[in-house]
């Protein structure tokens, strides 16, 4: 019997279920809005609200607790310093779920899980790039590539080979091929 056991198993073993919920919460904290099935959204909401409650404390112990579920130091810092302060005046209700209706493929009930207090889209995009370990300003990459190509051109002048050098290489290759053929003929003669 399952007296008092509220957890939804979602058709998965414990380790798989935990990995799923961690990934959903990680995506929720990065993008502040995710689309998933309704049962997954309800379970992810429980974990996300629990983590935000801890993040509001902003202590070392709270950060370590959050790190157990989201093993990314940058994201833990973002949750504690950017997301949690928005909810200081709230006592719960940090997320909301919008039902979208059945999915076309299998008829699963779909939903959107999002944070109630949102950031600007530019800030979310910068956060995504930071978490994905990309360089934030993309212009610097282009400038670095241009500098590298200029340095390579200065350091390595192109060598122009004369026609006579090319001919000698071709002749050497032909001589080697002839010797190989002669060697094979001699081996056949010896065997006979």
Structural domains of the chain, with CATH: 14-138 (3.90.1030.10)
pLDDT at 7: 84
Query: What beta strand segments (E) does 28-144 contain?
Result: 33-37, 95-102, 109-115
Q: Crossing angle of helices 14-31/60-69, nearest 10°?
A: 120
Average per-residue pLDDT for the chain: 85
**Mean pLDDT across 71-81:** 92
Q: When comparing pLDDT for 183 and 73, which is higher?
A: 73
> Per-residue pLDDT tens for 3-50?
998 888 999 999 999 999 999 999 999 999 999 999 999 999 999 999
> Per-residue pLDDT tens for 106-159?
999 999 999 999 888 898 888 888 888 755 555 566 667 767 776 666 665 555
At residue 44, φ and ψ (nearest 5 deg) are -65, -30
Q: Is the pLDDT of residue 181 over 80?
A: no
pLDDT at 14: 93
* Cβ atoms of 126 and 149 closer than 8 Å: no
DSSP 132: T
Can you tell me the distance from the alpha carbon of 45 to that of 53, in angstroms, rounded to the nearest whole number?
12
pLDDT tier for residue 166 given thresholds of 50, 70 and 90:
low
Can you give the pTM of this predicted structure? 0.67
In this structure, what token pair is assigned to residue 55? 């993040």
Query: What beta strand segments (E) does the chain contain?
Result: 33-37, 95-102, 109-115
In this structure, what token pair is assigned to residue 170? 């071709």
């Amino acid at each position: 019997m399952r007296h008092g056991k509220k957890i939804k198993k979602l058709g998965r073993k414990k380790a798989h279920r935990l990995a799923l919920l961690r990934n959903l919460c990680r995506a929720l904290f990065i993008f502040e809005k995710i689309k998933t099935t309704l049962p997954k959204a309800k379970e992810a909401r429980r974990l996300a609200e629990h983590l935000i409650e801890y993040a509001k404390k902003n202590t070392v112990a709270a950060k370590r607790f959050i790190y157990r579920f989201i093993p990314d130091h940058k994201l833990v810092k973002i949750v504690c310093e950017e997301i949690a302060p928005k909810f200081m005046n709230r006592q719960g209700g940090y997320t909301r779920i919008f039902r979208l209706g059945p999915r076309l493929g299998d008829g699963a009930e779909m939903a959107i899980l999002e944070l109630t207090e949102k950031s600007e889209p530019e800030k979310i995009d910068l956060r995504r790039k930071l978490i994905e370990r990309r360089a934030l300003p993309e212009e610097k990459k282009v400038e670095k590539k241009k500098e590298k190509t200029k340095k390579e051109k200065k350091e390595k002048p192109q060598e122009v080979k004369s026609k006579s050098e090319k001919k000698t290489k071709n002749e050497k290759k032909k001589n080697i091929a002839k010797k190989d053929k002669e060697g094979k003929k001699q081996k056949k003669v010896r065997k006979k």
